[in-house]
Chains A and B, each alone.
Chain A
Amino acid sequence: MKAAQTPHKKEVPCVFGRPPQLPITKIIRLSAALLARHRRCSTPTAALSLPPRVCSLRPESLSCRLSTIYSWHFTGKTKLCSVDAAMATTKPRLSSFSRNLSAVSSSQTPGVKCGPNGTMFVSSGIADLDKILGGGFPLGSLVMVMEDAEAPHHMLLLRNFMSQGLVHGQPLLYASPSKDPRGFLGTLPSPASLKHDKSRDRESEQEKGLRIAWQYKKYMGENQPNFDSHRDNKQDYCNEFDLRKPLERHYFTRQRVNCVGIQDSKNLAALQEHCASFLAQHQRNDGSCALAGRIAIQSLCAPQCEHSNMDWEMLSFIKSLKGMVRSSNAVVVITFPPSLLSLSSTKRWQHMADTLLSVAAIPDEDKELAKLLSGYQDMVGLLNVHKVARLNTQVPFILEATTFSIKLQKRRFLVLECLNQAPVDGSSGSSYGTSGSCSGSSKAGTLDF
């Protein structure tokens, strides 16, 4: 049997054998040994190449057993393909219809990164959210966040978004229904002073064996290799914010920060005028991006605002804003409580969004939920991704997961994680009905030949 030891750091380790001489169990054991050496595979997909004769023999059973080993490298499916096809699949693929992603150059403008299809991204201020959305918020897009009336998690998203813009020196327009919108700037978080060591990455490297195969996604590498290829750029692009440390005042006294109150206005005309003049300063010229701008509108349909019962006026405002931002180098983030709108209005607002997120509260001291989800004790809420902006393309962005838990690491740093089901019991491999061990059982398997 010939096995590819380490063909290339970024290539998938492939195993291909000659079935008449090699039993399947030995192939499985060899695969496990190889992958133990190449545990941190940088590509999300792996192809196990086997000659057709092997594939024809109970592929379901074989793939079940192999997927147990390959689980932290697979996207959920085991591909049984020919050797030639396996050697050809060396490049990461986002979806069946994705184009070949060539390496892209980072933009010269600080805080802005180039993305596919001629789009440019700004960071949301939350590194995990940037990864989930494929790089961040595209310039020229409208992001809407549906609030939960029982939890203030939309404020966390808004704070990080605003802080990231101020740290990069990007002009900011903030609108709020509160009496003193400028007072909100004092609650913005500051970038962490020390390099925050992501302990969850360290934990993922610990040897756990097959017991944590169900959490394989924690060990998967980047699905978007281009955006994280340069670590320095990533650190500049998205900072890690300490929610307990307020942003230094020089960030929002020196920069152009405009705060607008919307509670006392009779309608949205004044806010529309503010937005129009702000976006006019960030008109997009061909290919260039001098400086990106950010607009943050908190609780647009808050009940204390007089325009809160003017459904069509609010919709018209959003439509107008979307049209203006599309031709500008800016991003607009609007939060709103859907529970205060009619169902038809909510649907219309959701339809207007390029990127649609929602936050939700979780019950406190819920034993049932603690049994169902792992890491429940650290969760403060949930984030759902309903829609991801795709500008200049018809290719949809397929998310691997749509619901994420919002956690505060050390009560300071906001992280998003996929939901993972807590183990039902402590044993492993029992779900397949047979032992999942590949340690060389003397018992001859039914697949041996």
Chain B
Amino acid sequence: MADTICRTLRDGGLEGEHAPALTIKDSKASPFGFDVFNYVLTQLSNYILAGKSQSRGLVVVAYSRSPSFYVDLLKRRGIDIASSHDWIHILDCYTDPLGWKNWLIDKDISQEASSLSSFCQDVRNLDKLYSLIIEQGKGLIGQGKDRFSIAIDSVSEMVRHASISSVAGILSNLRSHDQVSSIFWLLHSDLHEIKFTSVLEYLSSMVASVEPFNQAAFGQRVDLENLSMLEQNFRKGKFHVRFKRRNGRVRVMCEEILVELAGIKFTPVLSEDEIINQRLLPKVSIIVLS
């Protein structure tokens, strides 16, 4: 199922259609959202390098990690960094988001990362950020009709410096841009009001939720009875995805995730899970003839 998400982002959108958008949301109970984000980022990078995706480039808007982190991540995944400047660009909103440290810029990031990244020193101005993203993306793909993908880590950081409507505006505008093939972002849902989470779900075509493996064990006191269940929650989780299909239907899928040092693994759910789409079932009124 995670591969299904990656394939959907790989295939992009049709002509005249909004780009597919993925929201990855997690919470304190199951904080594996960033691992999922890295997995999707790596998969999409592989597709771009192999020439199998609609997009020819990737712009990473880095709020919560430095550009050096992403360079190291791609190296660990065996992705060629030497030619990375042709297909990936990192917009650094992490080092100096508010423009406070103009004199320390050259010392903060490695040389390798600095060749792939550029600074955004005013994350409060989302119009300027939008222009920067589009400019960097066009710089990767040239003047043709090619497209590029966008990864935002994370919108929780983005909304700290801007209003909900402006964040929704930039995401909506990015989705509707002709040269954007796909876009995905990370959200920590328990940091926000329900309204902001609802807004992002409204703007997305796929919503991936990371939930605790043992929901009942979360929040309870640690004792011998639930220790094993709590330990499972430290490494495992459940991965629910809701796809909004083009025909107007919603496809709901579920997998289990296991987080290891090497990365995250997705395994299909073996047993029948609880009915997760009950709320979509219509109330059918059966007319009984008297």
Contact = CB atoms under 8 A, between A and B. Distances in A.
Interface string A241-281: 00000000000000000000001000000000000000000
A419 B165 contact: no
Nearest to A306: B165
Contacts of A342: 195
Given A361-B249, A364-B249, A309 B164 contact: yes
B265 interface: no
B251 interface: yes
B169 A372 contact: no
26 contacts: A60-B290, A64-B289, A68-B289, A76-B290, A149-B198, A149-B201, A150-B242, A150-B250, A153-B248, A179-B176, A302-B172, A304-B169, A337-B202, A339-B202, A340-B195, A361-B244, A361-B249, A362-B249, A363-B251, A364-B243, A364-B245, A364-B251, A368-B281, A372-B284, A402-B285, A406-B248
Contacts of A340: 195, 198-199, 202
A429 interface: no
Nearest to A365: B251
Contacts of B284: 372-373, 403, 419, 421
Interface of B: 163-165, 168-169, 171-173, 176, 195, 198-199, 201-203, 242-245, 247-252, 275, 277, 280-287, 289-290
A-B pairs, 10 with minimum CB distance: A303-B168, A364-B249, A304-B169, A364-B251, A303-B199, A380-B248, A363-B277, A304-B168, A304-B172, A149-B202
A179 B173 contact: yes
Contacts of B250: 150-151, 361-364
Contacts of A9: none
Given A149-B198, A419-B282, A305 B165 contact: yes
A225 interface: no
Contacts, number: 118
A64 B198 CA distance: 49
Contacts of A380: 247-249
Contact of B249 (A177, A339, A381): A381
B280 A421 contact: no
A292 to B, nearest CB: 30
Contacts of A406: 248
Nearest to B172: A304
A2 to B, nearest CB: 27
Contacts of A78: 289-290
Most A Cβ at <10 Å: residue of B176, B202, B242, B243:
B202
B169 A63 contact: no
B290 A63 contact: yes
Contacts of B290: 60, 63-64, 67, 76-78
Nearest to B287: A76
A419 B286 CA distance: 9
Interface residues of A, number: 51
A419 B282 CA distance: 9
A178 B203 CA distance: 12
A207 B230 CA distance: 62
A265 B286 CA distance: 47
Contact of A151 (B164, B244, B282, B285): B244
A308 B167 CA distance: 13
A360 interface: yes
Contact of A360 (B171, B242, B247, B282): B282
Contacts of B201: 149, 339
Given A63-B290, A363-B277, A382 B165 contact: no
Nearest to A366: B277
Nearest to B200: A303
Nearest to B284: A419
Most chain A CB atoms below 10 A, which of B163, B201, B282: B282
Contacts of B251: 363-365
A347 to B, nearest CB: 16
Interface in A32-86: 60, 63-64, 67-68, 71, 74, 76-78
Given A150-B242, A151-B244, A361 B176 contact: no
Interface string A402-430: 11001000000000000101000000000
A50 to B, nearest CB: 16
Contacts of B242: 150
Contacts of A369: 281
Contact of A308 (B165, B171, B176, B252): B165
A64 B289 CA distance: 7
Nearest to B280: A363
Contacts of A402: 285
Contacts of A178: 176
Nearest to A363: B277
A71 B287 CA distance: 11
